[in-house]
Structure 1
Amino acid sequence: MPVGPDYRPDPRFAALGDDFSDAVEPAAFPEHILRWRNQRAAADVGLDGLAEAEWVAHFGRFDPLPGQSSPRAMRYHGHQFRHYNPDLGDGRGFLAAQLRDDEGRLLDLGTKGSGQTPYSRDGDGRLTLKGGVREILAAEMLQAQGVPTCRVLSLIETGEPLARNDEPSPTRSSVMVRLSHSHVRFGVFQRHAFFDRTDLIERLIGHVIDTYHPTATDAASMLAAVVRAQARLVARWTAAGFAHGVLNTDNLNVTGESFDYGPWRFLPRFDPGFTAAYFDSIGLYSFGRQADAVFWALKQFAGTLRPFAEEPALVDALNLFGPAYVAESQAAFRARFGLQDAGEEAGQALIDTTLALMAEGGEALGFEGVFFDWMCGEASQGRAMTGPRAALYAGDAFEAFHAALKAHAPDRPERLEHPVFAQPDPETMLIDEVEAIWSAIAEADDWVPLTAKTERIRAQGAAWA
């Protein structure tokens, strides 16, 4: 048996029926070179014992894992930059498997670059190797910072030269498998509303409640649970200085976990207008507008639930977003600083003064510097005031920040004994670093910088945990 005793298959989505997905065949690739194997994630779902040949068979050729259905391309529509598109669906990926983790959560193994499907349109159904590397880096950094995120389980280079408009071509190809809590997008509901299939929406509501939000009792309370989850997600993005780039309704799911990392960026400095996607000419999904974008998407999702809930109940659920976002933002900033709760007023002061200090410090302070230097608040004063950014900790903006910081007691200051905090600088994930990692792979097939970077990110995550 190629799987371990902790492997627990539970292919629930396929049981919804053919109205929700299509059986597809994976592409036949000329090569299968294993480039990334996330052993930590594999251990959570009982797949860590696979031999390399078995790994490639399951995640490169997609031989079915025990107890799983055939690969299914999921059906969905969505608003893309607020324009409705009925021609979507899994165009270069599929749901390969569903299984329980060591905490009992249902997780999906979803692919990217696994070949054409009925929803590929004119696309080749492939993923560039660079795109796969970028997804690894985004997911690893976000996980280390406590952001709800998918994890890249596997990346296999596939030996096909790909033509792309946004990369030097031909470029190398890959197939990726991500481990995610759910791939049920808002757009799945939108597709069935578009075709006026209230029967399918009703079935989907039951599936989401039973599988992901068991405390919900009806459509309105399910919406409330999704609203709270999305508020937590976007608050964590804000505290991480992360710009997703493409917050379309097909890129947001019912569990509030980010996935499908395309033109993402981490901010080099605090800038609300920072835009990750070069094609977002009006900054619709800029860093400072992400909460607005997610709330707009939630309203579209709520619209699909109208046949199953009274309008006031849906409005009440949506109105939870603002207060939840405020509370979750304060919790996220406290977590990044390693501080205890000191109340709402003190929590908001911490956010406001931190961002003001970042704005004044610019790229010299960056987005990560202040969190790293002042981890556990006053317990890090010696580190901060003798470190490489010490000169930036002066003046009115700093004094206001310092006062807000001192209003919070440190949470587990023994974490500062971790070797990570003896280093002068935090780990960052800026575009120049990403490009340097890719250049080493593209020019010399050197994967050491990627491995070294992910190891340092994981160490920093362990230090914060």
Structure 2
Amino acid sequence: MDYCHTYANLDTRLYNKQPPVPLDNPRAGHFNPYVAKRLGWDKDEDLMSHWVEILGGQYVPAQWTPLAMVYAGHQFGHWAGQLGDGRGLLMAQVRDTNGDCQDLHLKGSGLTPYSRMGDGRAVLRSTIREYLCGHALTQLGVPSSTALGFVVSDTPVRRERMEAGAALMRVADSHIRLGHIEWIASFAPDLLAGFTDYMLDTYYPECRDAPVPVAAFLQQVVERTARLIADWQLTGFAHGVMNTDNLSITGSTLDFGPFGFMERFNPGWINNHSDHTGRYSYQNQPAIGYWNLQQWLPHFLRLPNISRATIDECLSIYEPVFMQHYQIGMCHKLGLMHDQASLNIAFDFLTLVESQRLDYTNSFRALLAVVDTAQHPYEQTLLTAFINELTPEGLSTWQDWRARYIALLPEDTSEVINTMRANNPVYVLRNAMAQRAITAAEQGQFEEVARLFTLLTTPYEVQEIATALDTTPPAPDAWQPPISCSS
């Protein structure tokens, strides 16, 4: 592989170099051949033959420089002080086949100076959820970390109960979080200028050509964050823990905990059992993204040519960028052009789906059967189920909406159909799907993990390996339990 170890050359206050603490008897869970090929891992015989030992912390290749990053953050709106990689290590940095630097980060690698009250480990259930979700979002086209693979072991780890320790090799375009700057500002302000130069040169080199490179960099981070959260909203994804230490400077999804994909559409859905106020509910994600940037941007006032007006200008673009990206995406889900008529009918559809407590993913996919009844038998089944769940009032609203929608369609609907197919997945990682894979894996059976991995590789296509449970939402009155943060 083409290594690019740049973070390890920064000031030593920013990290602690250390090897991983090996797991006992690590065993293969699943290996991601697509990531391996993108990294060039598949070309290295030593890496391919020892991947289980590497992920299990038993073998560190000679070219690697493992380290734990230190950062800080606001958690649930409150300053949490110093945080850091408490159970993970940046093992190496490597250029992928596109020439972009990627971080290889081993999660579940043992205690670090930043573990606080933790044990430095990860458990199998959360490891599987992160592995599958990172893959799912990536294949949906949402910027996200993904993973090379994961292993399970005989190392016991206590959470709510005793569980099997596991480890995941996360791959991301960066592990620098908003919280890195928060730590520097609080504990090592002399590093701010140099670290900002590092972020510019490594992740935003095009900003060097701007009149004020740092201002251009800040604006790019704001724009990418806005687009990422718009993508989350469009796919029905709720992160669950949008602390400042969980948002990346590159606008990629990072740190999967109590995440979830929306099933029965409820904008106020809270998927984190620790979120007692609903701060990180699905509908609050856009506002929390803005709030996090509000905490982050003023730290750069210490740099030359960055004024309060600069910060305000950067923040001011967040809402229009988010709204434009979200509105265009919502129109595309209906196969329509981005105009006011399309927006009106899109939001009316969301209102119908919410009022009738219908499934978010299935409802949008079912609309293909409205556009073309002959060529979409799977979607016709979804549409029938959709209509059967409507109340009499909902049915009347639907019939009126359907007529208005058809009136907006062009005579030739081929492009409409292509756009809808590309923007409305058949499959997302529903919590029940992940739980079935976890239950089997805890018995040593990883076939369901492999099946879901394959299913989520092409989420926009109907697949023969799918089962009815992969697209069946919970009952309308069923309680959707929130997910634990413990991992």
- Bin the TM-score by the shorter chain: 0.7 to 0.9
Matched, 1:455 2:454: yes
How far off is 1:325 after superposition? 0.4
Alignment correspondent of 1:330: 327
- 8 Å CA contact retained: 1:361, 1:392: no
- 8 Å CA contact retained: 2:332, 2:420: no
Gaps of 5+ in 1: 1-6
How far off is 1:416 after superposition? 9.0
Alignment correspondent of 2:83: 88
After TM superposition, the structure 1 = structure 2 runs for residues 159-170 of structure 1, keeping only pairs within 5 Å, are 159-165=154-160, 169-170=161-162
CA distance in 2, matches of 1:204, 1:42: 30
After TM superposition, the structure 1 = structure 2 runs for residues 3-152 of structure 1, keeping only pairs within 5 Å, are 7-50=1-44, 52-61=48-57, 63-65=59-61, 67-68=63-64, 70-152=65-147
- The change in CA–CA distance for 1:59 and 1:391 in structure 2 (over 3 A counts) is closer
Alignment correspondent of 1:172: 164
Alignment correspondent of 1:3: none
CA distance in 2, matches of 1:353, 1:177: 42
How far off is 1:250 after superposition? 0.3
SS in 2 for 1:120: coil
Alignment correspondent of 2:436: 436
SS in 2 for 1:86: strand
How far off is 1:66 after superposition? 5.8
What are the superposed Cα offsets for residues 210-246 of structure 1, whole Å, 9 maximum, x if unpaired?
1112232432221110011011111111011111100
Amino acid at match of 1:104: G
CA distance in 2, matches of 1:416, 1:289: 26
CA distance in 1, matches of 2:8, 2:173: 16
CA distance in 1, matches of 2:331, 2:147: 27
Alignment correspondent of 2:253: 258
CA distance in 2, matches of 1:151, 1:273: 27
- The change in CA–CA distance for 1:200 and 1:283 in structure 2 (over 3 A counts) is same
CA distance in 1, matches of 2:266, 2:427: 19
Gaps of 5+ in 2: 388-394, 464-487
- 8 Å CA contact retained: 1:376, 1:412: no
Amino acid at match of 1:403: R
CA distance in 1, matches of 2:99, 2:252: 17
After TM superposition, the structure 1 = structure 2 runs for residues 353-432 of structure 1, keeping only pairs within 5 Å, are 353-362=348-357, 365-375=358-368, 378-379=371-372, 383=376, 386-390=380-384, 392-393=386-387, 394-397=395-398, 399-400=400-401, 403-404=404-405, 406-407=408-409, 411=415, 413=417, 426-432=426-432
Amino acid at match of 1:106: C
CA distance in 1, matches of 2:300, 2:289: 17
- The change in CA–CA distance for 1:228 and 1:118 in structure 2 (over 3 A counts) is same
- 8 Å CA contact retained: 2:139, 2:457: yes
CA distance in 2, matches of 1:417, 1:306: 45
CA distance in 1, matches of 2:376, 2:429: 22
Matched, 1:306 2:287: no
Alignment correspondent of 1:4: none
Amino acid at match of 1:15: N
- 8 Å CA contact retained: 2:26, 2:53: no
CA distance in 2, matches of 1:448, 1:164: 25
Name whichever of 404-413 and 186-195 sits farther off: 404-413
- The change in CA–CA distance for 1:53 and 1:235 in structure 2 (over 3 A counts) is same
- 8 Å CA contact retained: 1:377, 1:410: no
- The change in CA–CA distance for 1:223 and 1:413 in structure 2 (over 3 A counts) is same
Alignment correspondent of 1:210: 201
CA distance in 1, matches of 2:230, 2:368: 19
CA distance in 2, matches of 1:262, 1:118: 22
Amino acid at match of 1:333: M
- The change in CA–CA distance for 1:415 and 1:450 in structure 2 (over 3 A counts) is farther
Identity %: 27
Alignment correspondent of 2:191: 200
Matched, 1:320 2:317: yes
CA distance in 1, matches of 2:277, 2:62: 47
Name whichever of 281-290 and 81-90 sits farther off: 81-90
- The change in CA–CA distance for 1:371 and 1:14 in structure 2 (over 3 A counts) is same
- The change in CA–CA distance for 1:18 and 1:267 in structure 2 (over 3 A counts) is same
- 8 Å CA contact retained: 1:24, 1:71: yes
How far off is 1:359 after superposition? 1.0
How far off is 1:181 after superposition? 0.9
After TM superposition, the structure 1 = structure 2 runs for residues 222-301 of structure 1, keeping only pairs within 5 Å, are 222-301=217-296
- The change in CA–CA distance for 1:311 and 1:351 in structure 2 (over 3 A counts) is farther
- The change in CA–CA distance for 1:417 and 1:154 in structure 2 (over 3 A counts) is closer
SS in 2 for 1:174: strand
- 8 Å CA contact retained: 2:333, 2:420: no
- 8 Å CA contact retained: 1:353, 1:397: no
SS in 2 for 1:343: coil
- 8 Å CA contact retained: 1:379, 1:410: no
CA distance in 2, matches of 1:463, 1:101: 30
- 8 Å CA contact retained: 2:328, 2:338: no
